Structure 1
Amino acid sequence: MKKKLLLMLVLLMSGCVNQEEPESDPAYCSFDSDECLANSDEYETFINESDVFIEITMQEAIDMFENQESCILYFGFPDCPWCIEALPIMEEAAKENDKNIYYVQTRDEERNLIYTDEEKTAILSYVGQFEDTDDEGNVALFVPLVVVVEDGEALSGHVGTIEGHDAHERQMNEDEQDQLKGIYVEMFSK
């Protein structure tokens, strides 16, 4: 437990190289932007050492919808400071509800998108109702995105951390962390 707490502190203390505020809602990162930078080594270690997260590809997530499976999906990437802050809270909520979370990494180590336009269109057809629009008015993919799927239908979803939190400016305080955990617990307990 001490190891995980130390890791969480390191993750939370990781700074952003680019301090420009995103033009969209500051409560989440865009899959399609280069605005989010943080330390990815600790993130990958956390994902790999957690007994909650199961890494899958974007196509495998799409297949889960098409095969009418039930699961919890998390879309994110290591350089997203919102993802870094949400990850341990998400894990804690999942453990409390005895759930696994399927993790879909959306960017590689060089920060390149690792899904195709076709995959993006397909996944948006299932989760688009939880997303926002980009500057051109198109539904965009933002992270962290957590979606509860039952029998191939997205029942609930949450994008970002909490309203008013900008990970480029500050870390979530304890009340905000509790609020985010409450959102996840409510989603995962259904």
Structure 2
Amino acid sequence: MLNLILEIIVEIIISILLHESLHYLIACILKLNPQVKMHNLIPSITYKNTHEDIKNLLVGAAPLLMVTLIFILPNNKWFVFKVMCFCQIFNILPICADGEVILLSIINLLKNMKKSKVIIGIVVFILTLTLINIYVQKSESAIAYNDHTPRMIKTSPSDIMKRIREKKQGIYYFGFPECPWCIELLPVLDESLQNANEKAYVLNTHDKTFTQPLRNELTAFYKQYVHQKRIYVPLVVSINDKHEIKVHLDTVKGHNAKVSRMTKSQRKELRHILDQMVDFKK
């Protein structure tokens, strides 16, 4: 619990520092002589007002760049920081100093703009809202990493590696939460296990208890059975009662999880492969 609280505090502090740093950076670029002031241990940026609305707008809106980090940072990490980044959208509202500067600058700019430029501005604004909407919909439909189903057996990495070493009958899954391919494979594996009334041992290769000696042992297993010199995931291992081993690495050929989700045909292909892996164990 203490670690969680510390992580939240650290992420909030980082977001505040980044917010003010963006103000400072843009003000420096625009040669507005920015200065850092502290108020109750919280930094704030002041800069020279040259009464140039476009410059004031750019400095005031600079923290909106933080919104882009939501797309860059990995899933299942930096949740509080991502929330703080998303909240920068509200920075454009006149409920804070930045919002007041932004609103006043926009009003002054609109007064001096030609009609065509106003239309362009409206189009850009609509496109921005559209992109935000697409992102929200994508986030809602995203698959979460879930290795906590009734068919997933959680035990220590040392116990799992011992079972692998002794070639004990079973199905074994290796992966980690931030792996896009793992996120795609897990629900399909769970379906195969459920259909066959089977279970699989789960090992998170990024777990702190997965020590270097255990990692070295798994690397040796990869060299012998996966024909890889290092650990790649997701990996599904099936061992039958004759101590024979069968492995499946990745999802399916041609699928790049960083670019897109699996198609229906790819998912069907993967399901067939994993069904065979489950049947092999029997």
TM-score (norm 2): 0.47
Contact 2:218 2:231 in 1 (8 A): no
Output the amino acid matched with 2:261: Q
Give the deviation of 1:126 after TM superposition: 3.3
Give the deviation of 1:148 after TM superposition: 0.4
Contact 1:65 1:151 in 2 (8 A): no
Q: 1:176 corresponds to which residue?
A: 266
1:56 partnered with 2:155: yes
Give the deviation of 1:68 after TM superposition: 4.0
Instruction: Indicate which of 221, 245, 254 corresponds to 1:126.
Output: 221
Which whole-Å deviations, capped at 9, do the CAs of 1:81-111 have from their partners, x for residues lacking one? Answer: 1111101100001111121000001114xxx
Partners of 2:232 and 2:205 in 1: how far apart?
10
Which consecutive residues of structure 1, in runs of 5 or more, have no partner in the other structure? 1-14, 19-36, 134-138
Higher percent of residues as strand: 1
Q: 1:100 corresponds to which residue?
A: 199
Q: 1:47 corresponds to which residue?
A: 147
Contact 1:94 1:101 in 2 (8 A): yes
Contact 1:57 1:105 in 2 (8 A): no
Q: 2:96 corresponds to which residue?
A: none
Output the amino acid matched with 2:75: A
Partners of 2:167 and 2:180 in 1: how far apart?
32
Partners of 2:72 and 2:185 in 1: how far apart?
19
Contact 1:76 1:105 in 2 (8 A): yes
Output the amino acid matched with 1:84: I
Higher percent of residues as helix: 2
Contact 2:171 2:239 in 1 (8 A): yes
Q: 1:8 corresponds to which residue?
A: none
Q: 1:149 corresponds to which residue?
A: 239
Instruction: Indicate which of 168, 171, 174 corresponds to 1:75.
Output: 174
- Identity of matched residues, %: 26
Partners of 1:162 and 1:59 in 2: how far apart?
29
Contact 1:147 1:158 in 2 (8 A): yes
The alignment's C-alpha RMSD in Å is 2.4
Which consecutive residues of structure 2, in runs of 5 or more, have no partner in the other structure? 1-69, 80-143
Partners of 1:186 and 1:166 in 2: how far apart?
23
Structure 1 counterpart SS, 2:162: helix
Partners of 1:62 and 1:120 in 2: how far apart?
9
Give the deviation of 1:163 after TM superposition: 1.0
Higher relative contact order (CA closer than 8 Å, sequence separation 6+): 1
Instruction: Indicate which of 75, 78, 103 corresponds to 1:38.
Output: 75
Q: 1:17 corresponds to which residue?
A: 72
Partners of 1:117 and 1:152 in 2: how far apart?
30
1:91 partnered with 2:190: yes
Give the deviation of 1:127 after TM superposition: 4.1
How many correspondences in the alignment?
Answer: 146
